[in-house]
């Protein structure tokens, strides 16, 4: 199982703060590379994002992930 999110804080900050897909500090190319790895494609994905309106995972974040995987 993969918990997918962008990161609010920079790498090695020691913090685990989630950001919406594409709105954080992880480069889009890195997210795309990871999500398209054959090993990852076989696993269920759970979005751990704050949501565009702050109410948790939403259709916009699903759309963003789908665009990265397409």
Map out the domains of the chain as residue ranges: 2-69
- Walk along the chain (70 residues) in steps of 10 and give the mean pLDDT of each run: 95 94 97 96 96 96 94
Q: What is the pLDDT of residue 36?
A: 96
8 A C-beta contact, residue 21 and residue 65: yes
Q: What is the pLDDT of residue 70?
A: 76
Give pTM, 2 decimals: 0.89
CA distances from 42 to 15, 23, 29 (A): 28, 25, 20
Q: What is the pLDDT of residue 22?
A: 97
């Amino acid at each position: 199982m993969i918990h997918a999110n962008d990161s609010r804080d920079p790498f090695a900050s020691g913090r685990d703060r989630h950001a919406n897909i594409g709105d954080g500090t992880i480069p889009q190319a890195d997210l795309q590379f990871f999500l398209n790895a054959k090993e990852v494609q076989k696993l269920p994905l759970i979005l751990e994002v704050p949501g565009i309106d702050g109410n948790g995972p939403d259709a916009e974040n699903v759309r963003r992930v789908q665009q990265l995987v397409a």
